[in-house]
Structure 1
Amino acid sequence: MFGIPLYFGMRGNTLNWAIGFIAGLDFLLFGYDQGVTGGLLDLPSFVKYFPKINPKEEGISEAEETARNTYQGIAVAAYNLGCFLGAVFTIFVGNPLGRRKTIFWGSVIMTIGALLQCCAYDLPQWIVGRIVTGWGNGMNTSTVPTWQSETAQAHARGKLVMVEGMLITAGITISYWLNYGMAWIGENEVSWRFPLAFQIVFALIIFGTILNLPESPRWLVMQGRDEEAIEVLEVLNEKNRDDPFIQNEYRSVQQTVKEMSQGSYRSLFQMTEYREFHRVALAYVCQMFQQISGINLITYYAPKLFDEINLSENNYPKLIAACNGTEYFLASLIPIFIIEMVGRRKLMLIGAAGMSLSMVALAVSYEQLHQPEKNMKAAPAQIVFLFVFNSFFALGWLGMTWLYPAEIVPLRIRAPTNALSTSANWIFNFLVVMITPVAFKTIGYKTYVIFAVINAVIFPIVYLFYPETRYRSLEEMDDIFKKTTNVFNVVHHSIKEPHRFDKYGQLKPEYAEEVRRQSIKEADADDVHEAVEKAS
């Protein structure tokens, strides 16, 4: 294509990492838009055009201030509502379009939305722009984890999808530092128009490269394009098609697609031997938990939270928010290196426990800061535990909820399930972002108490109901759920079921021999079939 070599000339691990980084730029966009908006809300050049979402205007009544807090929450959360609509839309178009084309068109739609935002002169246009941008990002975030999981090797899948989580924090960090720099411009409109327009750069990279990356081999088999699927498996694994590993991968995918080809959207709610609804529920609740943990209470409104600690001079709230984003980014690097060693369940449990305790500390320090006689000694604790919460979230829940749903569901409903579970992420994201300004205005420190309790409840639910997927191929999870008889024993089966692959991604000898015997058996069957055809 235009003289560019197929897959940009990459193979094997290099190609796998390219898929992770290039497609994962959508998650950078997601993080960027989360972070950039909160830093614009108090800029004089911004509130000049959008006064209806400025609750700090002098001379307004308390009722008007409350109303503007509500308007602000709705306007900021409009992006998440668009993401929800885009995720639901993907349930119906994801499989027909394919993984790459869905991401391509999602990126085009995001670009249109970003242009609407940065050129806005009134609130309705800005809100419409946020909804359109969100629609495109909802399509992408519903598809990227599926595409990533279906192209990655089992032993590297966790690391590669964790990169997507890291890119979210990278986007947040970039937006925070850009906001801090732009805050010194004064009343020049470029201070908010440029940050909104800058996201177009990342969208251009995505839709300019995505169609020259490999399609999911599993999706290709579903479409009957078996030869292309084998070629993709060869390139991704740098092995010849005669290699036992490639034969096993292809056969596993082919058998699963053949066995489950009769799936429909109704299958999301069925309970056959594959326990579809059980797995859909796990994926959906996992995404919901990420958002009701309260992370976007901090991400979207970090400058506003720091501003309430008497740090309004010299743009200190934006500076501390930028430092918070940088620490958040550094913490997100840790799971990339330990996800396969520690496992999914343990990281989710550690994250939930740490987030709950952090919210308790935030509630206590916030209450002290808002007493009639402010206890400013609590200010450092408020700052520290905003950092600590982000660290625990990055460790256990940031990238995990984009990885886990793609690992837990069967192939025939993987695309619609990931779209549905992603819609949970966005609708609860919308809820948290919308209510945050009003919650702090009306119930104060109790806002943190609510999220502390929610995170405490998440811990036992994960422990009891969420099976481990570490070192498991996508087809192995089907076998585990076939042996499951109720929601309480799936964890037991995930622990007891032998692994087919070792920690290096190599097929274990006993299974390699089984693959060899199966190949001989199928070859003999083909010879018999060919002889019968000749005789007839």
Structure 2
Amino acid sequence: MPKVSRPYWGLRGGWLTFWITTACGADMTLLGYDQGVFSGVVISQDFLRTHNLESPSKTTLLGTVTAIYDIGCFLGSILAYWLGERLGRKNTILLGSTVMSIGAILQVSSYSVGQMMAGRVIGGIGNGLNTSTAPIWQVETSKMHLRGKLVILENVLVLVGFSLANWLNYGLSFVNGPVSWRFPWHSNSFSFSSCSSLRHGFLSLRVLRRWLMTHGREEEAIQIIADLEDKDLDDPFVQLQRSEMKYSIEYERANSVSFSDILHRKANEKAGTKTIRRLLLGMGVQAMQQFSGINVGSYYLPTVLTKSVGLGESLARLLTACNSVQYLLFSLIGIPNVERWGRRKLLIFGATGQCVCYIFITALIRYNEMPEYAHRHQVASASVAFFFLYYVFFGIGMQGVPWLYPTEINSLTMRTKGAALGAATNWIFNFMVVEVTPIGIQNLGWRFYIIWIVLNAAMIPTIYFFYPETAGRSLEDMDDYFRTNPGLLVFRDKEAISSKRPEKYQAKDQYIIHAKEDVAIEESQHLEVAV
């Protein structure tokens, strides 16, 4: 007999999910490396001399060179909005990885501000394509009880790349000349190796069940459901997922709102699925991640520690590298708790802790600007502990959930667009933060950090009052929830904010499964009688 070719390397169930996560995780690790490497580059004297950015008068330009990467990410996310459904998840990420590698080559070979900025924009476009798409792919191929954990794990892998870049920056701080900043940008080889593994993974793992179902390839979609669940095609659970997805697709096609309708304010004519509200919730949580002030540190922590706290450059680099390790380790706490605590509680926990940390940071840094105070440097240096503690709260609460939430809250037909708009929101506010931080530190001093106290404090009631819980729900459950025309203030609805799946959804699933089992038994009995 001829050998039967099995898809996805013959993997099914848990192993298939594992390799999907590995492929997505390689992409996110590359993102973390690219984010972390520039914090050491911007304080390299050779980099500043080569690009004529040494003068304090060039602070604004230096901020733009750093932040322009986020404009590229924004453009890439918008591009993913238009291309994501046409190309599919796999091809979009392959395109993004290739573009990202081209950007890395331009940056590593740069001798001018123009080339560096061009490389950062191009690299950002690739990153925007990837970060808008990889979380969707993970969410759509994950079991309900693993979905949040796996997306949070992906974001923890961002920190693996981030930590690697920071330790490399510290090691090269003892080296003079171009190698101190060009060698880290030899991440182009790192990029190519990651792209290679991604290509092999994605070419083999065509597990896009909801995308296939949406595009009329139902038989392939059902086979993928069976493979991911490690069940037979006629299993009642597989058929349940099939029927729920088909119903959601048909309902959304009849009631969803196009982007053109949104722009022309025609959404109310077909707003049965609360499309605009769901888009705004996903975009809002991504904006909150940037309003937390994380990229004050991610891009500029060595600068903050030297300018605001008064530490030496070598010690600032060492502390930044050490912080990246504890940031990574504490982020692991979010993996098991994203389902146990739920998205809302993690976000509120993170925002509360971040607000408190910035209160202490602001109060302590103020002493560094009091020349009459004898121990001002010693007191200001105590703020380092609260920078470290800030990353603990952010790593547990805010690191991964903003990337997960838009993929869960948006409907099937708007999921790619919603994730792309969410990522675009993240990157445009990222640009704003990275652009203003060096100017704010230089001109406002300790008062600059008050901004982040206020913004973190404002997040707490916003999340509590307006954000429904998505933990424990299937993606189809969220469609059911918004079909009921829920009120804007969700905190009054205990089912909407519970981290456990509401009983009505469990009961519906059991009813459908039993009904399908009864149908299967009747068909079997009729067949026996006929025989």
TM-score, normalised with respect to structure 2: 0.90
Superposed counterparts of 1:218-237, under 5 Å: 218-237=210-229
Q: How far apart are the structure 1 equivalents of 2:277 and 2:521?
A: 37
Question: What is the alpha-carbon distance in structure 1 between the residues aligned to residue 491 and residue 218 of structure 2?
Answer: 33
Q: Does the 8 Å CA contact 2:366/2:446 hold for their aligned counterparts?
A: yes
Could you tell me which residue of structure 2 aligns to residue 316 of structure 1? 315
The equivalent position to 2:153 in structure 1, one of 157, 163, 175, is: 163
Q: Higher mean Cα deviation, 367-376 or 396-405?
A: 367-376
Indicate the residue corresponding to 1:528 in structure 2. none
Which sections of structure 1, spanning at least 5 residues, go unmatched? 56-64, 526-536
Q: CA deviation at 1:10?
A: 2.6
Alignment of 1:318-467 (within 5 A): 318-373=317-372, 375-467=376-468
From 174, 180, 203, the equivalent of 1:191 is 180
Alpha-carbon shift at residue 221 of structure 1 (Å): 0.4
**Per-residue deviation, 1:343:** 0.8
Aligned-partner residue type, residue 354 of structure 1: G
Evaluate the alpha carbon distance shift between residue 305 and residue 501 of structure 1 in structure 2; reply closer, same or farther with a 3 A threshold: same
Range that drifts further, 26-35 or 197-206:
197-206
Offset at residue 520 of structure 1 (A): 5.9
Cα offset, 1:521, TM superposition: 6.7
Residues 496 and 469 (structure 1), Cα distance of their counterparts in 2 relative to 1, 3 Å cut = closer
CA distance in 2, matches of 1:287, 1:197: 30
Is the 1:100–1:215 contact (alpha carbons within 8 Å) kept by the matching residues of 2? no
Displacement of 1:25 in angstroms is 2.4
Offset, 1:268? 5.6
Q: Do the aligned residues in 2 keep the contact of 1:484 with 1:490 (CA within 8 Å)?
A: no
Deviation of the 1:176 alpha carbon: 0.2
Opposite residue 236 of structure 1, the aligned amino acid is L
Q: Which residue of 2 aligns with 1:122?
A: 112
Measured on the aligned residues, the alpha-carbon RMSD in Å equals 2.4
Distance 2:6 2:366 in 1: 60
User: CA offsets per residue over residues 183-234 of structure 1, 9 Å max, x none?
Assistant: 22222x2222221122423333323422222332000001111111111111
Q: What's the counterpart of residue 142 of structure 2?
A: 152
Count of matched residue positions in the alignment of Structure 1 and Structure 2:
506
Deviation at 1:169, TM superposition (A): 1.4
Quick one: which of 240, 253, 260 aligns to 1:261?
253
The aligned residue for residue 289 of structure 1 is 288
Q: Could you say if the C-alpha distance between residues 496 and 437 of structure 1 is closer, same or farther in structure 2, counting changes exceeding 3 Å?
A: closer
Pick the aligned partner of 1:113 from 84, 103, 107: 103
5+ residue gaps, structure 2, are: 524-531
Counterpart of 1:175 (choices 158, 165, 171) is: 165
- Check 1:301–1:491 CA distance in 2 against 1; reply closer, same or farther (3 A cut): farther
Question: What is the CA distance between 1:7 and its match in structure 2?
Answer: 2.4
Matched to 2:183, the amino acid is: F
The one-letter amino acid of 2:260's match is R
Partner of 1:486: 487
- The alignment's TM-score, normalised by the length of structure 1, stands at 0.89
Aligned to 2:513: 515
**Separation in structure 2 between the aligned mates of residue 454 and residue 523 of structure 1, nearest angstrom:** 59
Which range is displaced more, 488-497 or 297-306? 488-497
C-alpha separation in 2, matches of 1:257 and 1:484 = 18
CA distance in 2, matches of 1:491, 1:167: 36
Q: Is this contact kept in 2: 1:268–1:276, CA < 8 A?
A: no
- Residue 410 of structure 1: how far off its partner (Å): 0.6
Partner of 2:526: none
Structure 2 counterpart of 1:349, one-letter code? I
Deviation at 1:509, TM superposition (A): 6.7
Query: Would you say 1:86 and 2:76 are equivalent positions?
Result: yes
CA distance in 2 between partners of 1:108 and 1:147 (Å): 18
Distance 1:260 1:519 in 2: 28
Query: CA separation in 2, counterparts of 1:254 and 1:170?
Result: 39
Q: Secondary structure at the match of 2:144?
A: coil
After alignment, is 94-103 or 264-273 more displaced? 264-273
Q: Which moved more, 1:375-384 or 1:439-448?
A: 375-384
Aligned-residue offset at 1:48: 2.7
8 Å contact kept, 1:244–1:512: no
Mapped to 2, the partners of 1:207 and 1:111 lie a distance apart of 13
